[in-house]
């Protein structure tokens, strides 16, 4: 158990709908990362937040958005869902936000949220 | 061309075999090299990481980095059925504000008794 908690574990929804995925980082971690894993694209970085502020952005679609709250939990919002958005979405966390040396930025993954769009 | 290339396998070996998993990369800025293990329907977990070139050993696992060839390897000695998983290589540049790793697609390893 990495200490990163994600909900829900599984989600089935229809095209055009909107869903919210939730993540609680490990105790003491200030950074949260969101990744998407699909068979054809592998593990793709979407976005990072550090202590409530966006720190880095990856291949995140405009239909997707995220935020990190004062209690450090994070939510990933996926809207206007398409069939191709079906994937495993991972949250990960680390102590640092990029300036504390590599060891302080080692990331730990949750168990993921399986999203199926039908 | 993807920044990090990794053969998806599957790689099937008998118990006790030495396993070699490999990745190539194109970004010469990468300095940190990581190996993650992912069991089915679970999140990736960090196995080990190395900085720059060289070898690092941790129990039955040895990581090698050859920056001149842009090639990294993970060796597993005396492989066990419990090693059956997907192994993802990952790499990141030095600081500059982010150590966010770029992942390979993962190699599926099956160790059969």
Q: If you search the block for the tokens 């720190």, which residue do you land on?
A: A55
**At residue A10, does pLDDT exceed 70?**
yes
- Using an 8 Å Cβ cutoff, are B101 and A107 in contact? yes
- Please name the residue of chain A whose CA is at the shortest distance from the CA of residue B4: A42
- Using an 8 Å Cβ cutoff, are B33 and B50 in contact? yes
pLDDT per residue over A54-71, tens digit each?
998 998 999 999 999 999
Structure-derived torsion over alpha carbons of residues B78, B80, B82, B84, reported in degrees to the nearest 10: 90
Say how many CB pairs under 8 Å bridge A and B.
Answer: 60
- Using an 8 Å Cβ cutoff, are B101 and B2 in contact? no
Task: Give me the residue from B88, B97, B105 closest to A99, CB to CB.
Answer: B97
Beta bridge partners of A104: none
Which positions ≥6 away from A39 have C-beta within 8 Å?
A: none
Residues 51-110 of A with CB under 8 A from B: 55-56, 58, 90, 92, 98-99, 101-102, 105-110
How confident is the prediction for chain A on average, in pLDDT?
92
Parts of chain B with a pLDDT under 70: 1, 94-98
Which positions ≥6 away from A97 have C-beta within 8 Å?
A: A30, A31, A48, A50, A51, A55, A105
- The confidence score (pLDDT) of residue B97 equals 54
- The confidence score (pLDDT) of residue B51 equals 83
- The confidence score (pLDDT) of residue B92 equals 86
- DSSP per residue over A21-68, as a string? EEEEPPTT--EEEEEEEETTTEEEEEEEEETTEEEEE-S--TTEEEEE
Residues from chain B contacting residue A54 (CB–CB below 8 Å):
none
Does the distance separating the beta carbons of A55 and B98 come in below 8 Å? yes
Residues from chain B contacting residue A2 (CB–CB below 8 Å):
43, 45
């Amino acid at each position: 158990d990495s200490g990163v908690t994600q909900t829900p574990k599984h989600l089935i929804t229809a095209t055009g709908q909107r869903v919210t995925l939730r993540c609680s980082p490990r105790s003491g971690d200030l950074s949260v990362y969101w990744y998407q894993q699909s068979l054809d694209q592998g593990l793709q970085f979407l976005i990072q937040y550090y202590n409530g502020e966006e720190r880095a952005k990856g291949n995140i679609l405009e239909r997707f958005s995220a935020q990190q709250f004062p209690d450090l939990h994070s939510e990933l919002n996926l809207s206007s869902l398409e069939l191709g958005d079906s994937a495993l979405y991972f949250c990960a966390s680390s102590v640092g936000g990029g300036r504390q040396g590599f060891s302080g930025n080692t990331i730990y993954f949750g168990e993921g949220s399986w999203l199926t769009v039908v | 061309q993807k920044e990090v290339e990794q053969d998806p396998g599957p790689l099937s070996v008998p118990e006790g075999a030495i396993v070699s998993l490999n990745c190539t990369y194109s970004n010469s800025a990468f300095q940190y090299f990581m190996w993650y293990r992912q069991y089915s329907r679970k999140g990736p977990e960090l196995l080990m990481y190395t900085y720059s070139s060289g070898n690092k050993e941790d129990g039955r696992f040895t990581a090698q980095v050859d920056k001149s060839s842009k090639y990294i390897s993970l060796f597993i000695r005396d492989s066990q059925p419990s090693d059956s998983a997907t192994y993802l290589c990952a790499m990141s540049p030095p600081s500059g504000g982010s150590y966010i790793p770029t992942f390979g697609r993962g190699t599926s390893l099956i160790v059969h008794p």
